[in-house]
Amino acid sequence: MAETHILQDLQHQAAIASKVYVQRDYNSGTICKFQTKFPSELESRVDKQQFEETMQTLNNLYAEAEKIGGKSYLEGCLACMTAYTIFLCMETHYEKVLKKIARFIKEQNEKIYAPLGLLLTDPIERGLRVVEITIFEDRSIGFGR
């Protein structure tokens, strides 16, 4: 609970200095994968290794959601046999992983990025197009640039 106050205070007191967008990486096809290249605007804010690790974990989670294997085939065949009505009552594997991703991003924000004046937005809120990183200029402790 104390950690969520950090996020809320940040958004309440700080002004948004700028936003950085990490685009999708389509080199492996249409699967959901984000570029892991470190944006230059974040150089003064966060450790490059840390950021790349976050993005890599995020990409791995999306790969898990979209994995085509035995489990997804089973889910697909079962759904086909029930004329896809099973989707009305059952949560799909993808949705379960999306919840996991939401928890991961919240945890990363609370532990790593909020203390540095940054906020990662869950890509699902941007239609899985970009990872939006908001850079805050916190006037209360002279944090800004």
Q: Taking the complex as a whole, how short is the minimal distance between the CB of residue 55 and other proteins, in angstroms?
A: 17
Instruction: Give the amino acid at 31.
Output: I
Contact string (CB under 8 A) for other proteins, positions 52-81, x = contact: -------------xxxx---xx-xxx-xx-
Instruction: Specify burial of residue 80 (Cβ count, 10 A radius: 0-12, 13-18, 19+).
Output: exposed
Q: Does 107 bind other proteins (CB under 8 A)?
A: no
For residues 132 and 137, which CB has a smaller minimum distance to other proteins in the complex?
132
26 binds other proteins (CB under 8 A): yes
Provide the minimum distance between the beta carbon of 49 and other proteins in the complex, in angstroms, as a whole number: 24
Distance CA 89, CA 81 (A): 15
36 by DSSP, 3-state: which? coil
User: Toward other proteins, which CB reaches closer, 112 or 130?
Assistant: 130
Length of the chain counted residue by residue: 145
Backbone phi, psi, residue 4, to 5°: -70, -25
3 state DSSP class of 16: strand
Count interface residues toward other proteins (CB under 8 A). Answer: 49
Binding site for other proteins (CB under 8 A): 5-6, 8-9, 11-13, 19-21, 24, 26-30, 65-68, 72-73, 75-77, 79-80, 83-85, 87, 92-95, 98, 102, 115, 122, 124-130, 132, 140-141
